[in-house]
């Protein structure tokens, strides 16, 4: 998708910004995050219930598929892990490369021809937009050239395009999960709305890093985090997998649509799990069956990935 269209699509005006009032401060929960990355989890094959008939239309129908057994990373791939990959291979991510001018309208603003990626920022009355193409944004500088991952080694790596995630997976002897594998792993056999039950915040305890408050104006961070969280700060699902819901969307190897038939000019893959930007008033894709299309070539600071392996 060309960045101009991307910007126009997401640069939605926010009505009534000035009417918003600051919310009361809510005590932040005390969370213990993983100190070390756990080993991948091996899951048995078999029938898996995926999709939903009671959520967004694109999730229907609920259906049973059969998956083969596989292993899956217990957490999203971290900055530390991706740093190791880049140090070993010299890999340069798409956001660090000059964009393909063929994908950009010739009359587009000059900054769109520079390496960069999409960055979220909280909207304000003076700037009612929440996504911007920022030159210099990449996995080392997820929120733009002045940002850093220093001290965030255990955060999920973001600003990763599809081929970057696939390259990491190949290097590590793994691959990206299919959507069915991912959803099977995320729901962990649960038949409830969320992998942990039918209540999103059972007993007032958040089970995933999402957005509380009126999106995109105010993130109250009642779950302990405004923006990304380190991996493994919330209770794992029944399979022992962390952050399948929330924190960062995750790439899958499943095309969202037939790009050639749809004439999008760029492959579009399915991302899963929702992110720290999913809110009650927007997105609400903090469920295992939720899905969203993502252009293969565009990184953003709310999309990461994890890998799977075959026995």
242 scored as a contact of Ca ion (CB under 5 A) = no
243 scored as a contact of Ca ion (CB under 5 A) = no
Q: Pick one of 93, 209, 289, 300: the residue that binds Ca ion (CB under 5 A).
A: 209
Nearest approach in angstroms of CB 164 to Ca ion is: 25
Nearest approach in angstroms of CB 246 to Ca ion is: 7
164 scored as a contact of Ca ion (CB under 5 A) = no
120 scored as a contact of Ca ion (CB under 5 A) = no
215 scored as a contact of Ca ion (CB under 5 A) = no
194 scored as a contact of Ca ion (CB under 5 A) = no
Task: Tell me the helices (H) and strands (E) count for the chain, helix number first.
Answer: 5, 11
Counting every residue written for the chain, the total comes to 311
Nearest approach in angstroms of CB 105 to Ca ion is: 36
Nearest approach in angstroms of CB 210 to Ca ion is: 6
Site string for Ca ion, 141-160 (x = CB under 5 A): --------------------
Quote the DSSP letter at residue 6: H
Nearest to 256 by CA among 159, 153, 178, 139: 178
b (16+ CB within 10 A) / e for 49-68: bbbbeebeeebeeeeeeebe
Q: CB-wise, 112 or 279, nearer to Ca ion?
A: 279
As beta bridge partners, residue 134 has: 117
Site for Ca ion, residues 244 to 283, rule: CB under 5 A: 276
Quote the DSSP letter at residue 19: G
Nearest approach in angstroms of CB 224 to Ca ion is: 7
CA gap 273, 285 in Å, rounded: 7
223 scored as a contact of Ca ion (CB under 5 A) = yes
222 scored as a contact of Ca ion (CB under 5 A) = no
Q: CB-wise, 81 or 209, nearer to Ca ion?
A: 209
CA distances from 176 to 70, 185, 206 (A): 11, 13, 28
Nearest to 76 by CA among 296, 269, 257, 244: 244
Q: CB-wise, 225 or 286, nearer to Ca ion?
A: 225
Q: What is the DSSP string of 151-209?
A: T-TTSBP-S--HHHHHHHHHHTT-BPPPHHHHHHHHHTT--SSBTTBS-SSGGG---SB
Q: CB-wise, 209 or 218, nearer to Ca ion?
A: 209
8 A C-beta contact, residue 161 and residue 296: yes
What sign has the CA pseudo-torsion 124, 3, 176, 88?
negative
Q: CB-wise, 74 or 233, nearer to Ca ion?
A: 233
Q: Pick one of 225, 234, 249, 305: the residue that binds Ca ion (CB under 5 A).
A: 225
234 scored as a contact of Ca ion (CB under 5 A) = no
Nearest approach in angstroms of CB 114 to Ca ion is: 30
Nearest approach in angstroms of CB 227 to Ca ion is: 7
CA distances from 109 to 3, 7, 106 (A): 10, 12, 9
Q: Which residues bind Ca ion (CB under 5 A)?
A: 209, 223, 225, 276
């Amino acid at each position: 998708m060309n960045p101009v269209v991307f910007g126009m699509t997401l640069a939605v005006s926010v009505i009534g910004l000035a009417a918003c009032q600051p919310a009361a401060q809510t005590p932040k929960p005390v969370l213990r995050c993983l100190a070390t990355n756990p080993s991948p989890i091996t899951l048995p094959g078999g029938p898996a219930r995926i999709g939903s008939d009671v959520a967004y239309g694109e999730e229907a129908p609920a259906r049973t598929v059969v998956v083969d057994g596989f292993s899956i990373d217990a957490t999203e791939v971290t900055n530390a892990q991706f740093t190791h990959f880049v140090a070993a291979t010299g890999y340069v991510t798409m956001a660090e490369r000059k964009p393909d001018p063929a994908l950009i309208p010739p009359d587009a603003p000059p900054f769109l021809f520079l390496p960069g990626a999409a960055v979220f920022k909280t909207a304000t009355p003076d700037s009612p937009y929440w996504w911007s193409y920022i030159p210099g944004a990449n996995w080392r500088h997820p929120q733009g050239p002045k940002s850093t991952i220093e001290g965030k080694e255990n955060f999920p790596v973001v600003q990763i395009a599809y081929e970057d995630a696939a390259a990491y997976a190949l290097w590590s002897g793994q691959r990206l999960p299919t959507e069915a594998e991912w959803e099977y792993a995320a729901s962990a056999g649960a038949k409830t709305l969320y992998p942990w039950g039918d209540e999103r915040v059972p007993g007032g305890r958040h089970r995933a890093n999402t957005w509380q408050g009126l999106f995109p104006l105010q993130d109250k961070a009642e779950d302990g985090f405004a923006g990304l969280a380190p991996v493994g700060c919330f209770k794992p699902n029944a399979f022992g997998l962390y952050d399948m819901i929330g924190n960062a969307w995750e790439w899958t190897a499943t095309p969202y649509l037939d790009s050639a038939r749809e004439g999008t000019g760029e492959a579009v893959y399915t991302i899963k799990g929702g992110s720290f930007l999913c809110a009650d008033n927007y997105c609400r894709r903090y469920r295992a069956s939720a899905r969203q299309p993502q252009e293969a070539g565009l990184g953003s600071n709310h999309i990461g990935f994890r890998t799977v392996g075959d026995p």
